[in-house]
């Protein structure tokens, strides 16, 4: 409790809230730019159990934005480096490692073990898989994305709120959205979005009011413009609608074959593309 003294002082946290955080479990999908700050803050704040899933290794081009890793870690599995660092940061948090990628075969087993999922993945197969699995297994999730100097995030599948397919019904076709590797990204952007993901995680775990569900926050950092737009649950949504077409993860299996697994970002340009196409 000494570690958390300053946040226990907060009237809407208190000892009860802190105890609830320590009883909570969160799965972080993808330990890249977004996953790093989310994991660090959740670990520091004393979340009881943190699951980390990613099969990737640390590369030199990751280091300007993936702040758990250093030059000496290049070539090592991200999950192994991250869990070592996080255990040093706060040994009282249980870190559960999954040195693999989330896929349609392991998603059910992994996701069901957690109260909440934070999606920091970088490809559409994984984003839609997280959505469909979380809706099927009734787990709320928070998803963030970054694109150059912009980012967006929202809380999905929370209470009666919308899911990711209510916003983007189907994944974009290959080439419709720019690849992050080509478009570039400023190092601090995932930090900005990631810390807000951590904030919303705490709000959901503690059931605090004004959770970012039913609205999408959009940030343009060059103008330091924060905007949010409302997102309603769609009755005809294939995932969370009244008669959902998606009743298992078979669609994700098909998606794996159709959508190239790359580093797609999806900021404003994708939203604009969608608006133009609908
Ligand atoms: Zn939906």
What tens digit of pLDDT does each residue of 37-51 get? 999 999 999 999 999
Segment 221-250 mean pLDDT = 94
Segment 228-254 mean pLDDT = 91
* Predicted pLDDT of residue 252: 76
User: Three-class SS of residue 110?
Assistant: helix
Q: What is the pLDDT of residues 180-216, one digit of tens each?
A: 667 788 999 999 999 999 999 999 999 999 999 999 9
CA-CA distance, 37 to 33, in Å (whole number)? 7
- Residue in 92, 116, 107 with CA at minimum distance from that of residue 53: 107
Q: What is the spatial order of strands in the sheet that 116-119 belongs to?
A: 94-98, 49-53, 25-29, 116-119, 141-147, 150-156, 215-220, 225-230
* Mean pLDDT taken over the chain: 90
Ligand 1 centroid to residue 60 C-alpha, Å: 37
Ligand 1 centroid to residue 141 C-alpha, Å: 12
Q: What is the CATH number of the domain that holds 82?
A: 3.40.50.720
Ligand 1 centroid to residue 131 C-alpha, Å: 9
Ligand 1 centroid to residue 241 C-alpha, Å: 6
CA-CA distance, 276 to 136, in Å (whole number)? 30
* Residue 265: pLDDT band with limits 50, 70, 90: very low
Taking 50 as the threshold, does the pLDDT of residue 267 lie above it? Answer: no
171 vs 210, which has greater pLDDT? 210
Ligand 1 centroid to residue 137 C-alpha, Å: 14
CA-CA distance, 29 to 77, in Å (whole number)? 15
Q: Would you tell me how many other CB atoms lie within 10 Å of the CB of residue 155?
A: 25
* Predicted pLDDT of residue 111: 98
Task: Give how many domains the chain has, as a whole number.
Answer: 1
Q: Which residues of 207-242 are buried (b: 16+ CB within 10 A; e: fewer)?
A: eeeebbbbbbbbbbbeeeeeeeeebebbeebbbbbe
Ligand 1 centroid to residue 108 C-alpha, Å: 19
Ligand 1 centroid to residue 265 C-alpha, Å: 21
The secondary element (H helix, E strand) that includes residue 96 is strand 94-98
Ligand 1 centroid to residue 90 C-alpha, Å: 36
Ligand 1 centroid to residue 234 C-alpha, Å: 6
- Domain coverage including residue 196: 2-277
CA-CA distance, 125 to 135, in Å (whole number)? 15
Residue pair 147/269 in contact (Cβ under 8 Å)? The answer is yes
Two tokens, residue 228? 């949010």
266 vs 152, which has greater pLDDT? 152
What is the DSSP pairing of strand 225-230 with strand 150-156? unpaired
* Predicted pLDDT of residue 251: 79
Which residues have CB less than 5 Å away from ligand 1 (the ion)?
A: 163, 165-166, 237, 239-240
């Amino acid at each position: 409790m000494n570690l958390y003294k300053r946040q226990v002082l907060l009237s809407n946290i208190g000892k009860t809230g802190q105890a609830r955080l320590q009883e909570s479990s969160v799965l972080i999908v993808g330990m890249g730019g977004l996953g790093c700050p989310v994991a660090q803050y959740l670990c520091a704040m004393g979340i009881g159990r943190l699951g980390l899933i990613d099969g990737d290794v640390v590369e030199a081009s990751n280091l300007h934005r993936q702040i758990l890793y250093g030059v000496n870690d290049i070539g090592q599995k991200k999950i192994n480096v991250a869990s070592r660092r996080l255990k040093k940061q706060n040994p009282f948090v249980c870190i559960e490692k999954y040195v693999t990628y989330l896929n349609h075969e392991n998603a059910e087993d992994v996701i069901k073990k957690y109260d909440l999922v934070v999606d920091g993945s970088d490809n559409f197969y994984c984003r839609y898989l997280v959505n469909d699995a979380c809706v099927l297994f009734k787990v709320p999730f928070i998803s963030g994305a970054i694109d150059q100097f912009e980012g967006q995030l929202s809380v999905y599948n929370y209470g009666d709120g919308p899911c990711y397919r209510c916003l983007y019904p189907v994944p974009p076709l290959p080439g419709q959205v720019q690849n992050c590797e080509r478009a570039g990204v400023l190092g601090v952007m995932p930090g900005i979005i990631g810390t807000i993901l951590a904030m919303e995680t705490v709000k959901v775990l503690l059931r605090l009011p004004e959770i970012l569900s039913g609205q999408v926050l959009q940030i343009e950092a060059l103008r330091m413009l924060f905007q949010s737009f409302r997102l309603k649950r769609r009755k005809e949504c294939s995932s969370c609608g009244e008669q959902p077409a998606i009743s298992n993860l078979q669609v994700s299996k098909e998606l794996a074959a159709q959508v190239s697994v790359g580093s797609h970002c999806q900021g404003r340009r994708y939203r604009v593309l969608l608006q133009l196409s609908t």
